[in-house]
Structure 1
Amino acid sequence: MNIFQSVIYPPPSLFLNVMTAVCLIALANSGISEVRGIHFAYSKFWNWKEAASSKSSAGAVAVSGRTGMLISYTPALVAAVASFFLPGVLAAPRGMLVCAALGLHFLKRDLEVLFIHKFSGNMMIDIAIPISFTYFTNTVLIIVSQYFSMGMSDPKINLTYAGIVLFLVGITGNFYHHYLLSKLREKGDKTYKIPTGGLFNLVICPHYLFEIIDLFGIALISQTFHPFCFAFGCMFYLMARSVATRNWYMSKFENFPTGVKALIPYIF
């Protein structure tokens, strides 16, 4: 308990504690669903045409994959930008760094959607909205946790600089491997290929690995309870998603290299 108190600000309220628990449980449950084969309906695990046909009688709306992902990420970006207008944020170095990291995280995602990613299908709006709500809610909770911590005594162990390093490594590695994925397809090509280059020669989801590093970087910068729980929850989900991704590639490609792990080189 003393070590815990040395690195994390005390949770500021019961409400934030409850919301943190809810978010962590929801992300962990999503990871369990991935392991059980119940995938979040987007990307290579999903036939959007069949889904759209089956839901058409219920009035479900399909949007382009690019539009769907912009809906998923943009509200969280808006929340991160709006956080700079909270009183005292710009005067608090840690608070400013957290808000800047969140803003860069989601700005990168939107820019990748606009200029890097290639989409092979549409996305149902009733999938985009829950994803958007998850990102937006957790971004707001991280900001609120940080805002209420500004009047507290700082933790004895300062992890800010370590967090900055992790965040920069994570966001750079994630972008690089998304760029490699985008180069797998020529314009108009909608077929899947086994990715290569970078850490793809060792793991099938290095972009997930760097995403996790990015999120833990934000948690270390913040040193509040919610971003740590959000990072762990995302880690559980992305671990499960990476296993499902590896299984998918192995089922689709007979020449898939068995030595390529799911997420962590040589280990997992």
Structure 2
Amino acid sequence: MLLTLIFPPPPSIFMAAMSVISFTSLANAGFSELKGKHMQYSKFWNFNSSQKSAEKKQQIPQLSGRTGMLILYAPAFLAALSCLLFFPHHSTRHLLLSSALTLHFLKRLLEVQFVHSYSGGMSIDTAIPISLSYFLSTATMIYGQNLTQGLPEPPIDLKEPGILLFLIGISGNFYHHYILSKMRSKGDKEYKIPKGGLFELVICPHYFFEIMGFVGVSCISQTLYAFSFAMGTALYLTGRSCATRKWYLSKFKEFPQTVKALIPYVL
């Protein structure tokens, strides 16, 4: 069944290794979120960290929240944009993939600059590895697509459903990020229970739509690496969504018990 949905995997040890590494590292990060081990730039890390850990973090050079997030996304955006503008596209699928990844990271950069509100900073030792991870995953996905040149197309073509899922995902993700940005007035750093949109049903609809967007990208690509990355991302964001719900339950006594973590009425 899987072979009807993806290109035949090219004889590339690098791509095989990256598919395994990408999936396992993201899945492990998701399980870590469930166990309470969070990324150091998140509010959950600050909430659960000991005083000793917090003091150690303060000794590392700190970036502003906006600068840190720009560093996270800019290299991946430049990689996707370079592939879109300067490298030949051997197929419509290759062009669509480069365009989708460019649009995805352009949206993130614009949100960082004009939409998001920041309640804290980011240490440089956190920003650099995450930035490298985004850059490598973007470049690897496009490189993997390039290796499909000359290979037979998958029997089931998922390009059009992929485009639809990607556009719904990126639009829904932006809309709910916009709702989050409007929850605080200027200078306000207090967390509040989100309201509006799908926040009435789940605490992380932005993650739900981000997963949808990456599933769309994997359908456009139809390579083993793209599907591995999408599945790993889904597991990571599921773990993070559950951690987010747990955090809100611990911080707000009035948090509605009916609001799920990621999938309305289910999870």
User: TM-score when scaled to structure 1?
Assistant: 0.94
Pair 1:63–1:260, CA change in 2 (3 A): same
Partner of 1:187: 186
- Aligned partner letter, 1:135: Y
Cα shift at 1:85? 4.6
- Aligned partner letter, 1:236: L
Cα shift at 1:131? 1.1
Partner of 2:263: 264
- Aligned partner letter, 2:204: C
Partner of 1:14: 13
Residue 100 of structure 2 corresponds to residue 101 of structure 1: yes
Cα shift at 1:261? 0.1
In structure 2, runs of 5+ residues without a counterpart are none
Pair 1:223–1:231, CA change in 2 (3 A): same
Q: Is the 8 A contact 2:241 2:261 kept in 1?
A: yes
Counterpart CA distance in 2 for 1:178 and 1:131 is: 20
In structure 1, runs of 5+ residues without a counterpart are none
Cα shift at 1:43? 2.7
Partner of 2:201: 202
Cα shift at 1:55? 4.0
Partner of 1:54: 56
Partner of 1:175: 174
Cα shift at 1:53? 3.5
Deviations 1:31-88 (A, max 9, x none): 111111001112321339966632455xx21000000011111111011011125643
Deviations 1:5-51 (A, max 9, x none): 22101122122101110111111111111111001112321339966
Q: Is the 8 A contact 1:95 1:150 kept in 2?
A: no
Q: How does 1:1-268 map to 2 (within 5 A)?
A: 3-12=1-10, 13-47=12-46, 53-55=55-57, 57=59, 60-85=60-85, 87-89=87-89, 91-268=90-267
User: TM-score when scaled to structure 2?
Assistant: 0.95
Pair 1:207–1:55, CA change in 2 (3 A): closer
SS of residue matched to 2:260:
coil
SS of residue matched to 1:173:
helix
Cα shift at 1:210? 0.2
Counterpart CA distance in 1 for 2:216 and 2:86 is: 22
Counterpart CA distance in 1 for 2:235 and 2:32 is: 11
Pair 1:152–1:88, CA change in 2 (3 A): farther
SS of residue matched to 1:149:
coil
- Aligned partner letter, 1:35: L
> Could you tell me the percent identity over the aligned residues?
53
- Aligned partner letter, 1:82: S
Counterpart CA distance in 1 for 2:224 and 2:42 is: 31
SS of residue matched to 1:190:
coil
Q: Is the 8 A contact 2:94 2:221 kept in 1?
A: yes
What value does the CA root-mean-square deviation take over the aligned residues?
1.6
Counterpart CA distance in 2 for 1:150 and 1:171 is: 28
SS of residue matched to 2:63:
strand
Cα shift at 1:92? 1.7
Q: Is the 8 A contact 1:11 1:145 kept in 2?
A: no
SS of residue matched to 1:47:
helix
Counterpart CA distance in 2 for 1:205 and 1:39 is: 16
Cα shift at 1:140? 0.9
